[in-house]
Amino acid sequence: DTEVTQTPKHLVMGMTNKKSLKCEQHMGHRAMYWYKQKAKKPPELMFVYSYEKLSINESVPSRFSPECPNSSLLNLHLHALQPEDSALYLCASSQDLTGGAYGYTFGSGTRLTVV
């Protein structure tokens, strides 16, 4: 299995809802990442997990809460989001702790719309 799988592919949620995005990889990769991408912009790093521990939080608002239950799974819990949080949320993984040796594998993303 050489893929990063993200579910759901599309999500529409209200500003008072609580939802979660899920990311899964079975490549034995040691680091996993959440990126946020707005239309026609580059992906922006949100969180990095290394060996299931949060290693980087790019000053992301607390309405986004990451979780890494095990080495294969990465979740992003969403609560009280704003319409400006609508974006494509990308998950990635890398074999080494930064992706410097072998690069990243990206998932296909979850397109989130906050109404």
Residue 38 near another protein by CB under 8 A = no
Indicate the residue among 16 and 101 with the shorter CB distance to another protein: 101
Nearest Cα neighbor of 6 from 47, 35, 44, 41 is 35
Looking at 20-28, 62-70, 72-80, 102-110, which segment touches another protein (CB under 8 A)? 102-110
The residue assigned the tokens 């707005």 is 38
List all residues 6 or more positions away from 2 whose beta carbon is below 8 Å from its beta carbon.
Answer: 27, 105
Concatenating the DSSP letter of every residue in 32-49 gives EEEEEE-TTS--EEEEEE
Contact call for residue 107 and another protein (CB under 8 A): yes
Binding flag, residue 98, another protein (CB under 8 A):
yes
Residues of this chain that interact with another protein (CB under 8 A) are: 33, 40-43, 45, 48, 55-56, 88, 90, 92, 97-104, 106-109
